[in-house]
Amino acid sequence: MGKFRVPGSLLRVRDGHGARVSFVELFFDLIYVFAVTQLSHHLLHDLSLFGALETLVLMFGVWLAWQYSCWITNWFDPETKPVRLMLFGIMLAGLVMAAAIPHAFKNGGLAFAISYVLIQVGRTLFCLAHLKKGHDLTPNFQRMLGWLLISAVFWLSGAFVIGGARLALWAVAVCCEYFSPMFGFWLPKLGRSRTSEWTVEGGHIAERCQLFVIVALGECLLITGATLSTANHFDSSLVIAFLAAFIGSLAMWWIYFDTSSKDGSEAIVHSSDPGRIAAYYHYTHVTMVAGIILNAVASELVVAHPHGRTNLSAALVLGLATVFYLGGNALYKSVVYGRVPRSHVVAVLVQLALIPVFMKWHLATAGAVATGLLLVVAVWEGLCVKRVVGDAVKIRN
C-alpha cells in the first residue's frame, strides 16, 4: 500500500515501513555538536561544585530542547516545508542558546533563557496551529504547552537574578519539563495524557537517540585531538594520556553500539506501549550523555597535563564520567532486556572505590586505569551478548 497524505496535513505518514531520520534532522543536530562543546568547556573552566551544578542544569536544558524536538519530528514530517522551516527557526534560536552557555550564569542569562523559551514554546504553538481541531494529538500538545509556559516563568525570572537564585529557579524549570511527561503532563481540567496515545515510530526515536550519543562521543574525539595539537613536545606520558583518551571513546562506543543499540530499536518497535518505552529511552540516555560530557572534560585534563597530579576535582571528573556513562547504560539495558548487566554494576562500584586512589597518581596513569575499566566492561558485555545469541541459535536448531 503506498503512502497517502491528507491534503494540508504535516503529520508523518504511517505506512508500516517505519520512519527514517531525514537529512534535515541530521543538519539540525549540528547545533547540538556546538552545544555539547560549550557544555564541556563550561565545566572545564569551573571545576567546582557550583560549576558542576550550573553545567548540569544547562545540560538538561540543551537535552530537553533537543528531546522535545525529536518527539515533534516523530509526529510531524520534516520533509514538508513548514516543518523544515520550523526546524531552521529552532536552529537559529539554538545557536544563540548554545553561544550563551559560557556566560549563562553571568551576563548571558537573559539571552539563554529567551532563546530557550522561544524554542520550547514556539515549537509547541507551531504544532497546535497545524493540528486539525479534534485531532487525537491536540490535547497532548495543549497539556505540553501548559507545562512549557510554567517552566518559561522560571527560566525568564531566573535570568533577572544572579548566583544561587538563578540556579535554583532554572533547576525548577528543568524539573517542570523533565518530570511532567512522567505523569502525562497533567493539568487541571485538561487531565493527563497516556503513553498509549503517543503514536510513535520506535525505530526513529531510537535512531535519534543513537545519533545524539554519536554527537557527544564526537566531542570527546574533538577535544582530545584539539588538546594534543597544543602539546609542545611528545613523551611517554603524553602518548599514554592520548591513547587512554582515544581508546576510552572507542570503549564507550563499543559498550553502547556493539551490544545493545539494535536491540533497543527492536524493544520500542515491538512493545505493546511504544510511547512508554520511547519515554524511558530519553530518560536513560540523558545520564549517558552526562557521562560522555564528563569524559570529554577528563580527556582534556589528562592530555593537557599528563604529568600533573590528580587533584580532587580531576579525580571526581575521571571517576564520575565512568559512573554516569555505565550507570546510564545499565538503566537503558534494563529497559531493553529487563535486567541490569552485572559488568556495569561491578565496574561502577570499582570506579567509585578508585576515586580516592586516583589522587595518588599522575593524570596519565589515572586516565589509563579509567579507560582500562571501560575496556573490561566492553569485553565482558560483548562475551555475554555472544553467549546469549549462541544459546538462542542452539534453541532454534
Report mean pLDDT in 10-residue bins for the chain, 397 residues. 50 62 91 94 94 96 94 90 96 97 96 98 95 84 95 98 96 95 88 76 81 93 93 89 95 86 70 74 88 96 93 96 95 86 94 96 95 94 60 34
- Domain co-membership, 185 together with 207: no
Residue 337: what residue type?
Y
Q: Which burial class, exposed, middle or buried, applies to 327 when counting CB atoms under 10 A from its CB (0-12, 13-18, 19+)?
A: buried
Residue 109: the pLDDT is 96
Whether residue 77 lies inside any domain: the answer is yes
Closest to 34 in 3D by CA, of 95, 86, 87, 89: 95
- Domain co-membership, 186 together with 209: no
Dihedral over alpha carbons 374, 375, 381, 387 (to 10 degrees) = -170
Among the candidates 166, 193, 220, a domain finishes at 193
- Domain co-membership, 214 together with 77: no
What CATH number corresponds to the domain at position 296? 1.20.1410
Cα gap 189→169, rounded to integer Å: 26
Residue 207: what residue type?
E
Q: Could you tell me if 177 and 61 are in contact, meaning their C-beta atoms sit under 8 angstroms apart? A: no
* H helices present in 161-273, as ranges: 164-179, 202-228, 236-253, 261-269
Residue 196: the pLDDT is 67
- Domain co-membership, 127 together with 224: no
The number of beta carbons lying within 10 Å of the beta carbon of residue 39 is 29
Whether residue 27 lies inside any domain: the answer is yes
Q: Cα–chain-centroid distance for residue 75?
A: 20
Among the candidates 144, 167, 193, a domain finishes at 193
Among the candidates 154, 169, 193, a domain finishes at 193
Cα gap 71→66, rounded to integer Å: 9
- Domain co-membership, 217 together with 322: yes
Whether residue 8 lies inside any domain: the answer is no
Quick one: CA dihedral 298, 302, 308, 309, positive or negative?
positive
Q: CB neighbours of 80 closer than 8 A, spacing ≥ 6?
A: 10
Cα angle 3, 281, 49 (rounded to 5 degrees) comes to: 140
Q: Could you tell me if 302 and 241 are in contact, meaning their C-beta atoms sit under 8 angstroms apart? A: yes
Q: CB neighbours of 394 closer than 8 A, spacing ≥ 6?
A: none
Q: Provide the domain limits for residue 145.
A: 23-193
Whether residue 69 lies inside any domain: the answer is yes
Cα gap 397→386, rounded to integer Å: 16
Whether residue 10 lies inside any domain: the answer is no
Q: Could you tell me if 208 and 21 are in contact, meaning their C-beta atoms sit under 8 angstroms apart? A: yes
Cα gap 236→238, rounded to integer Å: 5
Phi, psi at residue 362, to the nearest 5°?
A: -70, 160
- Domain co-membership, 284 together with 366: yes
Q: Could you tell me if 292 and 332 are in contact, meaning their C-beta atoms sit under 8 angstroms apart? A: no
Strand partners, 309: 362
Cα gap 223→299, rounded to integer Å: 7
Residue 6: the pLDDT is 46
Strand partners, 187: 191
Q: C-alpha cell of 17?
A: 515501513
- Domain co-membership, 179 together with 277: no
Q: What is the tally of helices (H) and strands (E) in the chain?
A: 13, 0
The number of beta carbons lying within 10 Å of the beta carbon of residue 271 is 17
Whether residue 396 lies inside any domain: the answer is no
* H helices present in 76-201, as ranges: 81-99, 109-129, 138-158, 164-179
Residue 396: what residue type?
R
Residue 184: the pLDDT is 86
Q: C-alpha cell of 319?
A: 571517576
Q: CB neighbours of 359 closer than 8 A, spacing ≥ 6?
A: 309, 310, 311, 312, 315
Residue 391: the pLDDT is 42
Taking only the tens place, the pLDDT of each residue in 328-350 is 999 998 888 888 899 999 999 99
Phi, psi at residue 123, to the nearest 5°?
A: -65, -40
**In total, how many domains does the chain have?**
2
Whether residue 81 lies inside any domain: the answer is yes
